[in-house]
């Protein structure tokens, strides 16, 4: 089993920030939660134009659902 931290939802897209195995750690700590919330708040303002360079240079990776790109 795994846990995932989802920062934001853009239309039909979800932005996952962190994935970890439950056997390796129980949860994130308070400092991590605070940083994830700040990042999520900033990402809520992002547009497709803002996201495109992050995908292009590898700072974000797109995970497609089936045949959808």
**Given this model, what pLDDT does residue 29 score?**
92
**Given this model, what pLDDT does residue 20 score?**
84
Burial of residue 42 (CB within 10 Å: 0-12, 13-18, 19+) is exposed
pTM above 0.85, yes or no: no
Q: How confident is the model at residue 24 (pLDDT cuts 50, 70, 90)?
A: confident
**Given this model, what pLDDT does residue 66 score?**
66
Average pLDDT over residues 28-56: 89
Distance CA 27, CA 49 (A): 33
- Which has the closest alpha carbon to 37: 60, 21, 57, 18? 18
Q: Is the pLDDT of residue 30 over 90?
A: yes
Phi, psi at 59, each rounded to 5° = -70, -25
């Amino acid at each position: 089993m795994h846990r995932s931290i989802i920062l934001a939802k853009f239309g039909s897209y979800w932005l996952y920030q962190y994935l970890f195995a439950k056997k390796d750690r129980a949860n994130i700590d308070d400092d991590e939660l605070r940083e994830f919330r700040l990042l999520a708040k900033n990402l809520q303002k992002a547009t497709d134009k803002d996201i495109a360079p992050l995908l292009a240079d590898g700072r974000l990776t797109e995970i497609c659902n089936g045949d959808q790109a």
